[in-house]
A and B are shown apart, each in its own frame.
Chain A
Amino acid sequence: QKEVEQNSGPLSVPEGAIASLNCTYSDRGSQSFFWYRQYSGKSPELIMFIYSNGDKEDGRFTAQLNKASQYVSLLIRDSQPSDSATYLCAHSGTYKYIFGTGTRLKVLA
């Protein structure tokens, strides 16, 4: 079982819709969870992190964490074509950052 699992996609949503990206993890000792965005040919950049159960909102982005279900998600409201990218979920336990394989998001204009 992979430590961090994501659906590879592509996930296609129309412009203005809500994009929902999901991630499950196997290590119950994981403390912090991260969402990185990676444009094609570029390096990953951090969008959000979350470490408490519940929701965390930042502009159009909301991260949701459920430690009991070992599940973390990212919602993107009012999706824009510029949001088209691969979204990588990651967690860190004591220190080591482990990434999922990423979900490719396509926002259709």
Chain B
Amino acid sequence: GAGVSQSPSNKVTEKGKDVELRCDPISGHTALYWYRQSLGQGLEFLIYFQGNSAPDKSGLPSDRFSAERTGGSVSTLTIQRTQQEDSAVYLCASSPYRGQNEKLFFGSGTQLSVL
């Protein structure tokens, strides 16, 4: 596709269950970001992938959160033992990483609701 694709668009889960969120970046984009946006709040940085380098995981809020990026393309964000405070929109963004003035291309997000 032409843009960043995220799935599912909506996810409702029960507290304590694990969830997986998927991001398919724009082809050729080497940089990939995950952000979390709670209702009425800004974008909270979670994790950053750049090519084959070790990811920057400094934004992950707890060890229940993990992410991987396979083959430098698709990324999966996994939340284990979900809690109600995990409810938010999870946004993925990618960029071609050609210079310092990189524009981020965002997906439509996954709305996660933990009951």
Contacts and interface: CB of A to CB of B under 8 A. Distances in A.
Chain A interface: which size bin? 20 to 34
A46 B35 CA distance: 16
Interface string B6-46: 00000000000000000000000001010100000111010
Interface of B is mostly: loop
A96 B43 CA distance: 13
Interface residues of B, number: 22
Contacts of B91: 43-44
Given A32-B100, A51-B100, A95-B31, A45 B42 contact: no
Interface of A is mostly: strand
Interface of B: 31, 33, 35, 41-43, 45, 48, 50, 56, 91, 93, 97, 100-104, 106-109
Kindly list the 5 A-B residue pairs having the minimum CB-CB distance in the complex, ordered from nearest.
A101-B42, A43-B106, A99-B43, A46-B103, A102-B42
